[in-house]
Amino acid sequence: MRFPRILILACLVALIVVPSALALRFTDDSFNMPTGYTGKPYSKQFHGAGGCGPALPYQYSLQNSALPPGLTLSKSGLISGTPTNAGTWSFWVQLSDQNPPSQSWCVPADAQREFTIKVVAGLVIQQTQSTLTPGQLNTAYNVQLTASETTGTTWSVTSGTLPAGIGLNSSTGQLSGTPTAAGSYTFKIQVSDGSQTDAQTYSITVVPQLTLAASSTLAGEVGLPLSLKPTATGGQPGYTWSIDPSTPLPAGLAFDPATGTISGQPAAAGTYPLNLTVTDTLGLTKTADLRLAVAAHLAITKKPLRHATVGEKYRATLRATGGVAPRQWRIMGGRPGFLPAGLRLNANTGVISGTPRKAGTYRLLFQATDKLGAHSAVSFVLKVSS
């Protein structure tokens, strides 16, 4: 009889002890909440014990409260993110068994506890991009690094090498100088206020100076094919081109952003300012202010020539409108196809001059050609009396 009594007593003790030992709870380390710093990554992992775990995963959720701005709580119990505001935040977290459970033996339970996170202003370098503005050989360089604290900080290069010719101001965080050697440079910069530090790794690429070659004044003519192609050197090749929308091309012309070529047949005369920019693969740019002058199509003015007299000095001027100077003049033909003896045509000015020596009627075809190759031809009659 004694043994059965002992067995019954042991079972009663087990019924009391086992549920108590398996009660769902947060582990002690969960209550050790690290201090957060604005602008710096934060991480805290909650852990559970008892209940249906760890055989089944625990679940975590916020209960009618909020974490510091910038932080989130995952279902697995990880608080992570980057705090954005200094202050103190208290919040409730619910720990629960897997619910619904994946095993029939699990009866889900939950527990709630309050936690507090203190966030203080952190010392943070504001420029978090890994690549800084590219440098150009023999061209002044200036990049200002800043931190969340503006006084009492010291800046330093802790590893790597700055480009030759560029230095770091230890008081202000300014990178400046004139690069003297091309290449890619990687380095780590640290800022410290005596109690806190922050560091960022950066790279700077130094390339030959980006240049754009294009005539400041471009000439075109209505109805005449036009093709203008600027050239770029330096930088990191793989150029793209653009024209400022506020300075559009005249009707009839098109722009190729891959080559910078302007081509087509302008349809309207006028002067068109153009703001042309070339960009390399590093993002460096060079801009040129151009002026496209489109002339009206070349046309000889049809005005009768005054009569000439044998033995008397004679002078008449052929005139044209439009086209692009300089113009060239010549006789294309006619009857007899040449000027009267004693007269000559100035090919540069279109002036007919001299003293005619023979009377007659001369029907002549004159042609003007401008700088762009446009032609205009008109017949004239010159009468020489005796």
Condensed to tens digits (0 to 9), the pLDDT of residues 224-267 reads 999 989 999 999 999 999 999 999 999 999 999 999 999 999 99
- Strands 360-369, 328-335: pairing is antiparallel
* Number of Cβ within a 10 Å radius of residue 94: 14
User: pLDDT at position 15, please?
Assistant: 40
Q: Band of the pLDDT at 195, cuts 50, 70, 90?
A: confident
Task: Give me the domains of the chain, ranges plus CATH numbers.
Answer: 18-120 (2.60.40.10), 135-207 (2.60.40.10), 211-295 (2.60.40.10), 299-385 (2.60.40.10)
Average pLDDT taken over every residue of the chain: 92
| Tens digit of each residue's pLDDT (9 = 90 or more) over 130-176 | 999 999 999 999 999 999 888 889 999 999 999 999 999 999 999 99
- Other CB atoms closer than 10 Å to residue 183's CB: what's the count? 13
Average pLDDT of 357-375?
A: 94
- Is the omega angle on the peptide bond into residue 41 within 30 degrees of 0, that is, cis? no
Its pTM stands at 0.65
CA–CA distance, 88 with 271 (Å, rounded to integer)? 66
pLDDT tens profile 273-293: 999 999 999 999 999 999 999
Residue 99 has pLDDT above 50, yes or no: yes
CA angle 184–187–190, rounded 5-degree value:
155
DSSP element (H, E) containing 189? strand 183-192
